Amino acid sequence: MKFMRKVLPFVLACALMLSACSTNASETTAAPTAAETTAETEAGGNTFTGTAAGFHGDITVQITVDGETITDIQVIEQSETENIGAAALPTLVEEALAGQTINVDSVSGATVTSDGFRAALEAAITSAGLDVEKFSQAAGGETTEKEEVTLDTDIVVVGAGGAGLTASLSALQNGASVVLLEKQAIAGGATAMAGGGTVVTGSQILEEDGVEDTPEQLKEDMLANGHNYNDEGTLDIYVNSIGAAIDWLVDPEGGNVEYSRPATSRTISAVGRGAAVVETLMDGVESAGGQVYLATPATELIVEDGTVVGVKAENDDTVYTINAKAVILASGGFGANDELVPEEYQQYVYAGAAGATGDALAMVESLDADLINMEFVNVQPNSIVLPSGLGQYCNPGVSGAYSTSGAFLVNENGERFANEQGNAYDLVQAMKPNTANYLIMDQASFDAFNAGMENSNIYTAEDVETWLANNGSSNPATVQGETLDDLAATLNLPEGSLTAAAEAYNAAVDEGTDEFGRTLTLKLSDDGPYYAVQMWLRYYATLGGLHINDQMQVLNTSQEPIEGLYAAGEVVGGLEGDIYMGGTLFGWAVTSGYNAGTSASEAIK
């Protein structure tokens, strides 16, 4: 049994406006099917519910009906991603209620959630016995000419992910006025999806804890990890300034981000993950006087005599001309754009941000901007495919499974093929030739796998029950067997292959290491039940982009700075080499944003 991911289309142009469809980054899939409808009458009127699949789980919508009118809509159950799908639901409710329609626009960046909401609402309307066709009409309204508005500010920041929010707040705190543009209806970008862990080399945190680490050591580690494809100038910016940036991030007078601290480690983790960081930084930007325009994509740079002097932007109602003394591009990578992602990567499942369509690269084309490492896209192992068809990292799950009992990976032949706990690059290379990869677990490791995922708010225990009931018939492929032979039969693996793999694995535990160099201390249980979860390769962050100097200015192909233009975050290329090192992407968003905001605001003083 081979479980294939759904191939999702990439459409760059339609991701630019709220009323358009999204790229496969978030989510373009067939509309979810209503799973359940119920109805009941209460004292306050007739209430009816409908349920449909969202991004992470079911969305249940309750409507209150008075005659032929819906008087109230409530989302009474959902497990969508905080600050992405969950943040989109209030907007969808408001528009559906005001327009008395199912046919509300998808919230850009949360298309799967939007589809699920509409399907659940349709199910509730059907349950109420109302005319679904009537409520399927788009809300009425006359088309009006867009207003033209001119704004003047010190700095325009394009993109409200972690880098853009950090750049905005650091510039504001340095005395500059800031206009922050975000093409999605929701701020956060890739940061909202991130775990929020980062190395903090050079920070006061490590100094106070007595942890020995140096910029030189971090640089050496990142060069080795990236196979020396890193741009050393960009890497030097990172390793030499991440400490100061993190100190600012966690300072109540700076970013005011709460963090937790693992002992004797060079890392910290943001409390509440990336979603909480986005919320905290957005509060800081707004409190400091930043002007934030969501659902307002930048369309072009304003250039005079080779100097960038502003940005044009447009939303549903308004065309903006924003005059500025500096522009910071922080619009993310290009993983959601098939036209830019090398074809070799598109065989894997995409797990990145919806807005990562490479808009900034088109905006700088006329400026002869230098692009570096465009051939590299970050591919990682340890991934499942969600019911939506999108990839989801499973690092919290696999780490729990491998540390609890003897869990291991097998290929389509039921054979082990790699050190499951080795570095990500080697595991990716080992997985690539396989047509299928399965994580084999006993009860203890399966429980630990799910605990890690549930504690990271990736899915719920109820989701696991549903997936087990499907027994591999849908994503994520999750299969149970009372014996290893039962499990192999369900997966269509060769007879006896899993039993042989487990026996060899447990024998290697007695030796302490296996043929792949993995240190083994824990055996797979001799007693069932056993479980298999299909593992995939996923891609998300792109590793190429704009070339910058040590002041975060964008360089042209002659290696000269383009006056007035700065960049931060994933839109910058060269930091990681050919694969990212754990705990550095989130740190780069913060470090590059902090540096860009500081450099730009200092330059215009």
Q: Report the distance separating Cα 217 and Cα 442, nearest Å.
A: 39
Confidence of residue 246 (pLDDT cuts 50, 70, 90): very high
Position 237 scores a pLDDT of 98
Average pLDDT over residues 123-130: 88
Question: Could you read off the pLDDT of 474-510 as tens digits, one per residue?
Answer: 899 999 999 999 999 999 999 999 999 999 999 999 9
Q: What percent of the chain shows pLDDT beyond 70?
A: 91
- Specify whether the CB–CB gap between 346 and 338 falls below 8 A: yes
Average pLDDT over residues 517-541: 96
Position 31 scores a pLDDT of 33
Q: Is 2 exposed, middle or buried (0-12, 13-18, 19+ CB in 10 A)?
A: exposed
Q: Report the distance separating Cα 294 and Cα 288, nearest Å.
A: 17
Confidence of residue 142 (pLDDT cuts 50, 70, 90): low
Position 10 scores a pLDDT of 25
C-alpha 155: how far from its chain's center? 27
Q: Report the distance separating Cα 152 and Cα 129, nearest Å.
A: 53
Is the alpha carbon torsion for 567, 25, 368, 379 positive or negative? Answer: positive
Say if residue 205's pLDDT is above 80.
yes
Position 150 scores a pLDDT of 98
Position 12 scores a pLDDT of 26
Average pLDDT over residues 561-576: 98
Alpha helices (runs of H) in 456-533, residue ranges in sequence order: 461-470, 484-491, 497-511
> 197-230 in b/e burial notation, b at 16+ Cβ within 10 A?
bbbbbbbebbeeeebebebeebbebbbebbeebb
Position 141 scores a pLDDT of 53
Map tokens 């990439």 to a residue: 10
Confidence of residue 183 (pLDDT cuts 50, 70, 90): very high
Average pLDDT over residues 123-147: 80
Q: What are the tokens at 530?
A: 């056993």
Minimal CA–CA distance to 524: which of 588, 601, 444, 468?
444
Q: Report the distance separating Cα 329 and Cα 327, nearest Å.
A: 6
Domain covering 395-534, topology: Flavocytochrome C3; Chain A, domain 1 (3.90.700)
Q: Report the distance separating Cα 100 and Cα 110, nearest Å.
A: 21
Q: ω before 476 within 30° of 0 (cis)?
A: yes
Confidence of residue 149 (pLDDT cuts 50, 70, 90): very high
Question: Could you read off the pLDDT of 253-268 as tens digits, one per residue?
Answer: 999 999 999 877 899 9
Confidence of residue 135 (pLDDT cuts 50, 70, 90): confident
Phi, psi of 403 (to 5 degrees): -95, 0
Position 77 scores a pLDDT of 87
Average pLDDT over residues 316-321: 94
Average pLDDT over residues 339-347: 93
Average pLDDT over residues 571-586: 95
Domain covering 148-377+545-603, topology: FAD/NAD(P)-binding domain (3.50.50)
Q: For the domain 31-135, what is the CATH code?
A: 3.90.1010
Q: Answer with the residue of higher pLDDT: 180 or 457.
A: 180
Question: Could you read off the pLDDT of 20-67 as tens digits, one per residue?
Answer: 222 333 332 333 333 444 444 443 458 999 998 887 778 999 999 888
> Do the two domains 148-377+545-603 and 395-534 of this chain adopt the same fold?
no
3-state secondary structure 518-587: CECCCCCCCCCCEEEEECEEEEEEECCEECECCCCEEEECCCCEEEEEEECHHHECCCCCCCCCCCCHHH
Average pLDDT over residues 215-234: 97
Say if residue 18's pLDDT is above 70.
no
Q: Report the distance separating Cα 95 and Cα 98, nearest Å.
A: 5
Confidence of residue 595 (pLDDT cuts 50, 70, 90): very high
What are 176's strand-pairing partners? none
pTM score, whole prediction: 0.81
> 416-447 in b/e burial notation, b at 16+ Cβ within 10 A?
bbbbbbeebbebbebbeebebbbbbbbbbbbb
Alpha helices (runs of H) in 341-457, residue ranges in sequence order: 359-363, 395-404, 424-431, 443-455
What are the domain boundaries of the chain? 31-135, 148-377+545-603, 395-534
Say if residue 434's pLDDT is above 90.
yes
Q: Report the distance separating Cα 357 and Cα 336, nearest Å.
A: 5
Return the DSSP state at 348: S
Minimal CA–CA distance to 27: which of 8, 6, 51?
8
Say if residue 201's pLDDT is above 90.
yes
Give the range with max mean pLDDT: 135-139, 174-178, 452-456: 174-178
